[in-house]
Structure 1
Amino acid sequence: MSRLDKVTVLGSGVLGGQIAWHSAFKGKTVTVYDISPDAIERCRGVHHRYAAVYRSEVGADDADIAATRKRLTYATDLAAAVAQADLVIEAVPEIPEVKTALYKEMAGLLPPDTLVATNSSTFLPRDFAPATGRPEKFCALHFSNNIWAMNFVEIMAHPDASPQTLTEVTEFAVEIGMLPIPLRKEQNGYVVNTWLVPFLNAAQTLVTNGIATPEDVDRTFLYTGARFGPLGMMDMIGMKTVFDVLSHWGQESGDAQMIANADYVKENFLDRGRLGVQTGKGYYDYPDPSYQRPGFLDVPDISAVPDLVSVFSPR
């Protein structure tokens, strides 16, 4: 058993909220920290919805939910949030400057034995290790969205991470019901985002460039038996995270199409408050997205042919 019983999650967004709720459900004492009181209130509301999800999909009963809630606290004061933490999991926006500033602010507030992990989905732990002030006690611990069902976690070391840190963090992952995926070498994008980001970017390109509707892009993927397509995935990941990733790596690589895709996401979603599942609106409206409705993949009536043909661009 690990000694990591008191956990602080920095960031109450999509994944931060999930990590916090799930860790508490699995018996950890958890503090959720966010700089924004409004974000904390949104997280409380999302946790109320997770109670229903865990009842229906995980088999939780009323006692399980009550115990989970009892283990959760919420904070907007960083010093208080980390004062007793055995493990701090950083899940703030995927913006290097934001992460680095937070690590530097936190460095002098942590107890000596506290471990720190980043949930970064595309950056390397070595990018932030010096800023933590305890590089030997730092590594990457990357969760996947829908944590209760996609229960794997990617663990990445960096040159200064101690074997003890990696052992304890991996034990923690097992204790909260995660399948550990250890990376043998450092890799931007880890395992899942190495293939997922190009996949989502390709799907977004089809929409940005007017090649196909979001629904038709997702239809071509749902035929594989998946529960949702790439645009539905973006809604679940959250449009802010999608924008941050596409914008950063588009500029980093000089990829004009990726930058255009980031601009499309900003103009059509962020600027309109459509942040995905967390706000109930993204590419689809929730909790009843059209891709989950009967008939989404049905062959249309022949009377629909004129409408289908009308979308072809003239030569």
Structure 2
Amino acid sequence: MSDLNRVTVLGAGVLGGQIAWHSAFKGKTVVVYDIAEDAIERARATHDGYSGIYLDQVGANEGDIAATRERLTYSTDLKAAAGEADLVIEAVPEVPDIKLAAYEKLADVLPAHSLIATNSSIFLPRDFAAATGRPDKFCALHFANMIWAMNVAEVMSHPDTSKETLTSVTEFAIEIGMRPIPVRKEQNGYVINTWFVPLLNAAQTLVTNGVATPEDVDRTFMLNGANFGPMGMFDFVGMKTAYDVLAYWGARSGDEQMNRNAAYIKERFLDRGALGVATGSGYYSYPDPTYKRADFLAVPDLAEVPGLVESMLPS
């Protein structure tokens, strides 16, 4: 057993909220921390929704849900949230300065024994190790979205991570029902995002450049047997995270198309408060996105041909 039973999740966003709920469901005592009270309230509301998902898809019963709620608390006070933590999982926005500031504040309140793991989807643990004040007790533990179904957790060390830390964090991942994926060399993007980000960027390029509609991008993907496509994935990941990732790598690599894709997401979604599944609106509307409808992949009626042809003609 890992002895990592008191968990604090820094960041009440999409994945932070999922990690917190799932860890509590698996028996851990969890505090959800965020600097913003409205983010905490959104997490509470999202957790209400997860109760239904876990009843319907995970095999939970009402007693399990009640016990999960009992193990969950919420706070905007960092010392109160993390002062007794065995493990802190950082899931704040993918902006280096925000992460560094969070670690520096955390260092002042954590007990000496506490471990820290970053859920960053793009940055290396070595980027933040010194700021934690305990580099030997720090590594990456990256979860996939829809944690209840995509039960993988990537574990990545940096040069100063201790073997004991990696052992405890890997045991923790197993205890909460994850399949640990050891990342054998430090790499931006880990395993999942090394292929996932190019997929989303390619799909967004088709939409940004007017080559295809979001729905048709997803149809081409779903016809291979998937339950949803890349544009639906944007909604699950969350538009803020998607923007942060594309904007960061676009700027870092000088990729103008990626920069245009980030700008598209900002203008059409972030600036309008449409953050994806979390707000009920993104590329699709929730809880009834069109890609779940029986006719989404159906062969169209011949009467639709004129409209299809019109969409192909030069404007």
TM-score range normalised by the length of the shorter chain: over 0.9
Cα distance in 2, alignment partners of residues 67 and 161 from structure 1: 34
Q: Deviations over 1:75-94 (max 9, x none)?
A: 00011110000000000001
Cα distance in 2, alignment partners of residues 82 and 49 from structure 1: 26
Corresponding position of 1:121 = 121
Deviation at 1:224, TM superposition (A): 1.0
Deviation at 1:312, TM superposition (A): 1.6
Cα distance in 2, alignment partners of residues 305 and 231 from structure 1: 24
Q: Deviations over 1:44-94 (max 9, x none)?
A: 000000000000000100110000000000000011110000000000001
Cα distance in 1, alignment partners of residues 15 and 66 from structure 2: 21
Cα distance in 1, alignment partners of residues 183 and 306 from structure 2: 52
Corresponding position of 2:145 = 145
Corresponding position of 2:232 = 232
Normalised by the length of structure 2, the TM-score is: 0.99
SS of corresponding position for 1:141: strand
Q: Deviations over 1:194-250 (max 9, x none)?
A: 000000000000000000100000000001110100000000000000000000000
Does residue 74 (structure 1) correspond to residue 80 (structure 2)? The answer is no
Within 5 Å, give how 1:14-29 maps onto structure 2.
14-29=14-29
Corresponding position of 2:85 = 85
Within 5 Å, give how 1:1-315 maps onto structure 2.
1-314=1-314
Stretches of 4+ moved more than 4 A in 1? none
SS of corresponding position for 2:116: strand
Quick one: percent identity of the two aligned structures? Answer: 69
SS of corresponding position for 1:32: strand
Unaligned runs of 5+ in 1: none
Deviation at 1:153, TM superposition (A): 0.2
Deviation at 1:105, TM superposition (A): 1.0
Partner letter of residue 252 of structure 2? Answer: E
Partner letter of residue 143 of structure 1? Answer: F
Deviation at 1:313, TM superposition (A): 3.4
Unaligned runs of 5+ in 2: none
Normalised by the length of structure 1, the TM-score is: 0.99
Deviation at 1:314, TM superposition (A): 2.6
SS of corresponding position for 2:190: coil
Cα distance in 2, alignment partners of residues 169 and 91 from structure 1: 16
Cα distance in 2, alignment partners of residues 97 and 205 from structure 1: 28
Partner letter of residue 112 of structure 1? Answer: A
Cα distance in 1, alignment partners of residues 301 and 85 from structure 2: 60
